[in-house]
Every structure is written in structure tokens, then in C-alpha cells.
Amino acid sequence: MPCTTVQASLPGRHPQSSQKSATVRIYGSITALATPFTAAGELDLDAWRRLLQLQVDGGTQGLVVAGSTGEAAALYDIEYDALLRSAVEFVGGRIPVLAGTGSSNTARKNGIEVGTPTRW
């Protein structure tokens, strides 16, 4: 089975320091999730949790939140944060949650520093 190894500095540690970095092995089916909205155009967190549960129950080995299939470029920072926090809390460490960091807005950070794992 194909495997990707991702290496990132631990939170609060500079990559060039003598501190060790975390290595996460990612393999198998990793689902890039679509972001559910209500008919009024608001983020639908109830549908989001159902989607997360379906993926976990289906055996996916990882989730991508707010990637290019998740309307990332159109999300407000508060929506991005709500999706990512909700996914991390819901999954509870059972599988990796990957945060989409792409954006068409060069001033936007999506609430995280690139290359630094975010933990809530």
C-alpha cells in the first residue's frame, strides 16, 4: 500500500532547533471532504459531524479538512476554524486530520502556521 511520510516540527519548536520533529506516516484511503452548508449558506456542523462519522465508519485512514474540494478559498476564518476544530475533536486521534492550507488570498493564514501541527 502506498505510504507518504510527513515530517513537521512540534508545536512551539523551530525546525532548525535541536528539538526532534514529529513524523506521521499517512497511507491508504484519505478522504478530502466537501464542506456542507445549509440552504441559507451557513456552515452545517450537524451534517459535518455525520459526514465525519460516515468516513470513520467506512474505514478511511485520514481526513482532509478544507482542502480544494472543501471550498477552502470561500470559507471565512471562523468557518475554517470551526471545521478543523470539530473534526479534530470528533475524530479524537483515531485517524489523522490534515488541514487544507491553500488559499487564493495571500494575506490569509487559515488560522495555522504552515508546517506546524495544530492541536486543540
pLDDT at position 87: 96
Q: Tell me the three cell numbers of residue 54.
A: 460516515
Mean pLDDT of the region 90-115: 73
Residues 49-67 pLDDT 10s: 999 999 999 999 999 999 8
Q: Is 9 within 8 Å of 113 (Cβ atoms)?
A: no
Evaluate the CA torsion angle 92, 113, 100, 98 in order and state its sign.
negative
What's the mean pLDDT when you consider all of the chain? Answer: 77
pLDDT at position 104: 67
Q: CA of 39: how far to CAs of 12, 44, 70, in Å? A: 40, 9, 17
pLDDT at position 108: 58
Is 55 inside a domain boundary?
yes
pLDDT at position 75: 86
- Three-class SS of residue 38? coil
Is 81 inside a domain boundary?
yes
Is 2 inside a domain boundary?
no
Structural domain span for residue 80: 28-99
Is 104 inside a domain boundary?
no
Is 22 inside a domain boundary?
no
pLDDT at position 20: 55
- Distance (Å, whole) CA 113 – CA 33: 21
Is 43 inside a domain boundary?
yes
Q: How many distinct structural domains can be found in the chain?
A: 1
CA atoms in the 13 A half-sphere facing the CB of 21: 14
Is 14 inside a domain boundary?
no
Is 15 inside a domain boundary?
no
